């Protein structure tokens, strides 16, 4: 294995047009030793088949996306959300994923009670943590940029994620440090330091401007935007994080490009822009 790529992972969404088989094959051919999988493509390919495919390719699963969406208020919806999250835990266990990423959910339709939505997530986390622990799965709370607070994630900062994770063993509930979502935070240095032992996933991309109409697709390849990835890499390294570094890009132009060209560029930018800040 190329030592410079030893911690590189490709989040499958970066080459969205590729199914699981093509994504795994692409990683193997380009020397990328890990992959972050998504539940829907895994379900299409088959859970057991995906596990075998990844193992046969010699890859590891850096994350499974995603569980969460736990802000629903009505009892029936809440029960359904918890059932789905337990299924996600089972899938992560089957895939031997390093973590199950939780995107906690936004405000229910017509709801303005942000504190109530956040409280429901905290309550649901307490119900799920024991189930995850029994199955050896680490839950990874992903704080999201505040622009997504209403529709996608009422969890907005690393500090808030750590507060929610604190009652649980660090091996059961950790946090995601995603460059897109946290780069702007004026308390980032101290909170990443506080996250020592809790960082379950480190995801890199860039914040590009002008933002597209669909802000979700404003994730550029590392180096294309405004995020100081060298600084962020030093912060997570100082906090003791030694896991995979997952490139996760949602971008219409990247999706339209030839996947092999994208993978070559992911490798090149990892070596040039990301790997030097990781130490070791």
pLDDT tens digits for range 200-212: 999 999 999 999 9
The whole-number average pLDDT for the span 251-271 is 99
pLDDT band at 32 (very low <50, low <70, confident <90, very high): very high
> Counting Cβ atoms within 10 Å, is residue 128 exposed (0-12), middle (13-18) or buried (19+)?
buried
Residue pLDDT, tens place only, 65-110:
999 999 999 999 999 999 999 999 999 999 999 999 999 999 999 9
Q: Which residue has the tokens 């094959």?
A: 25
State whether residue 217 is helix, strand or coil.
Answer: helix
Q: How far apart, in whole angstroms, are the C-alpha atoms of residue 127 and residue 111? A: 23
Pairwise CA distance, residues 247 & 244, whole Å: 10
Nearest to residue 246, comparing CAs of 11, 3, 66, 4?
11
Containing structural domain, residue 204: 3-278
Judge contact between 34 and 54, C-beta under 8 A: no
pTM: 0.97
Angle at 181 between CA 175 and CA 183, to 5 degrees: 105
Q: How would residue 280 be classed by pLDDT, with cut points 50, 70 and 90?
A: low
Distance between CA atoms of residues 263 and 96, nearest Å: 24
Q: What percent of the chain has pLDDT over 70?
A: 99
According to the model, what pLDDT value does residue 279 have? 82
Tell me the three state secondary structure of residue 235.
helix
Mean pLDDT of the residues in the chain: 98
pLDDT band for position 133 (cuts 50, 70, 90): very high
Q: What is the mean predicted confidence (pLDDT) over 246-261?
A: 99
The helix or strand, by DSSP H or E, that contains position 174, with its residue range, turns out to be strand 173-178
- Average confidence (pLDDT) over 132-154: 99
Tens digits of residue pLDDT in 145-192: 999 999 999 999 999 999 999 999 999 999 999 999 999 999 999 999
Q: Residue 1 pLDDT more than 80? A: no
At 213 the pLDDT is 96
Please name the residue that has the structure tokens 């063993």: 169
Q: Residue 37 is part of a domain; what is its CATH number?
A: 3.20.20.150
Residue 110 C-beta-side C-alpha neighbours within 13 Å: 1
Burial 144-157 (b: 16+ CB within 10 A, else e): bbebbbeebbbbbb
Percentage of the chain lying above the pLDDT 90 cut:
99
Say whether the peptide bond before residue 21 is cis (omega within 30 degrees of 0): no
Domain count, the chain: 1
| Mean per-residue pLDDT, 235-264 | 99
Tokens of 280: 């070791």
Which of 195, 184, 255 lies closest to 220, judged by CA?
Answer: 255
Q: How many Å apart are CA 173 and CA 156, to the nearest integer?
A: 17
């Amino acid at each position: 294995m190329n030592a410079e790529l030893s911690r590189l992972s490709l989040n499958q969404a970066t080459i969205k047009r590729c199914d699981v088989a093509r994504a795994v094959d692409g990683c193997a051919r380009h020397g990328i030793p890990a992959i972050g999988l998504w539940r829907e493509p895994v379900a299409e390919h088959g859970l057991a088949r995906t596990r075998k495919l990844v193992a046969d390719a010699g890859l590891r699963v850096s994350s499974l996306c995603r569980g969460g969406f736990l802000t629903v208020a009505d009892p029936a919806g809440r029960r359904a959300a918890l059932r789905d999250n337990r299924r996600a835990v089972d899938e992560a266990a089957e895939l031997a994923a390093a973590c199950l990423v939780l995107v906690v959910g936004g405000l229910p339709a017509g709801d303005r009670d942000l504190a109530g939505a956040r409280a429901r997530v905290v309550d649901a986390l307490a119900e799920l943590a024991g189930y995850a622990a029994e199955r050896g799965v680490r839950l990874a709370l992903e704080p999201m940029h505040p622009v997504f607070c209403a529709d996608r994630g009422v969890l907005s900062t690393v500090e808030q994620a750590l507060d929610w994770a604190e009652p649980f063993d660090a091996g059961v509930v950790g946090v995601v440090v995603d460059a897109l979502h946290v780069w702007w935070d004026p308390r980032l240095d101290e909170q990443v330091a506080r996250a020592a032992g809790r960082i379950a996933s480190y995801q890199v991309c860039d914040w590009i401007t002008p933002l597209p109409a669909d802000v979700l697709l404003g994730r550029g390849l590392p180096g294309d935007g405004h995020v100081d990835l060298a600084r962020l890499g030093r912060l997570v390294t100082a906090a003791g994080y030694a896991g995979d570094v997952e490139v996760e890009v949602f971008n219409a132009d990247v999706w339209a490009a030839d996947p092999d060209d994208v993978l070559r560029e992911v490798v090149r930018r990892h070596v040039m822009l990301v790997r030097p800040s990781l130490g070791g």
